[in-house]
Structure 1
Amino acid sequence: MEAPAIHTRRTGWTGAAETVITAWAILGGVMVLAVVGMNVWTVLSALRVWGTIFPGADIAFAGDFELTEMGIAIAAFAFLPYCQLTGANVTADIFTARASALWIAIFALVASIVALLFGLLLLYSMYGGMLSQREYNYATAILQVPIWWAYLPCLLSLALLAVASFITLVENLGKTARGGT
């Protein structure tokens, strides 16, 4: 049995980036909890549970579908940089089970390069999408929340994904140069 890996904290600007990325992921988790709370409130209101416990409190949450859609999208994007930085992305271990440490390091390096390019491409594309949403004044149907507002935290997440990918790229480059150790 292999001993569990011990996570060492990064220092300098990479440590600061790690702290920001971790805090951003936690905020994404808070967003998920808020969406869940809103949906529980809506379901209990529809079942008329609140009215029996608190008379007059049987109020449904208007626009819950719109807020759920935006909130979960924001949260999903908030988790991307953290997953990249901590190596928590989905991997196909069946292909690397018998690979040497060097080959695993090479695969990790390639994955970091792909993540960096993917993050930058998405950042560019979504920025253009946000500008279009803003130009045409698209808004949600019920609450009339401008849709481009949801793009702002997603763009920040993608910028953090690019930073996390760059950090892992440099770390994996060093690991590859050392022969996978």
Structure 2
Amino acid sequence: MSASASRTGLPLAVERAATLWAMAGGALLLLVVAINVASVIGGLFGKPFAGDFELTEVGTAVAVFAFLPFVQITDANVSADIFTQRAPVRLVAAFGLLAALVAMAFALLLGWRMYLGMLDQKSYDYTTAIVQFPHWIAFLPILASIALLALCAAVTAAERLARIAAPGH
């Protein structure tokens, strides 16, 4: 049985939030594609979409961060299973615990630094060149993604710890 199938309560709520957040990131990515298609078609008629490159840059960054919590909670990170396919369940769980703790530490460190970066972007009124989109605004959903990533890492760490402690493994 997968971890997802056995989740209830807060872990299930975190998983559902990560899934919805990733779907929102996917919708944003579709919007970015639509803007680019509109710009290319408009360019054929001498009227490209002004600022398409800037919006692609910002939209893609926000979307990529939106996918990170889903990847963590579904255990879809890249791994070299060939080295652990015959290892005991507890050892694999210990590696999973270590990976979840590293993900959580990374999320907390990244969240702290991105928050400070957002404050800098806001204090300097840094905007994109053409559409004058304030950069700091893009940090808000990115910071939400990072916070959700930390929650997902905490859930997966707790699940790996329970697997290590489970009798009979």
TM over 0.5: same fold?
A: yes
Q: Distance in 1 between matches of 2:121 and 2:85?
A: 45
Tell me if 1:161 matches 2:111: no
Letter in 1 for 2:108: L
Structure 1 residues 9 and 26, CA, compared in 2 at 3 Å: closer, same or farther? farther
Between Structure 1 and Structure 2, which shows a larger proportion of helix residues?
2
Counterpart of 2:121 in structure 1 is 133
Asked if 1 retains the 8 angstrom alpha-carbon contact of 2:100 and 2:157, the reply is yes
Q: Tell me how far 1:40 sits from its aligned partner.
A: 1.0
Moved over 3 A (4+): 4-7
Structure 1 residues 180 and 150, CA, compared in 2 at 3 Å: closer, same or farther? farther
Unaligned runs of 5+ in 2: none
Q: Secondary structure at the match of 2:79?
A: coil
Tell me if 1:106 matches 2:94: yes
Task: State which structure, 1 or 2, has the greater radius of gyration over its C-alpha atoms.
Answer: 1
Unaligned runs of 5+ in 1: 49-57
Q: Distance in 2 between matches of 1:89 and 1:157?
A: 16
Counterpart of 2:15 in structure 1 is 18
Q: Secondary structure at the match of 2:78?
A: coil
Identity of aligned pairs, percent? 50
Q: Distance in 2 between matches of 1:68 and 1:47?
A: 19
Q: Distance in 2 between matches of 1:117 and 1:104?
A: 20
1:115-154 aligned at under 5 Å gives the runs 115-154=103-142
Over the aligned positions, Cα root-mean-square deviation in angstroms equals: 1.8
Letter in 2 for 1:77: F
Q: Tell me how far 1:41 sits from its aligned partner.
A: 1.1
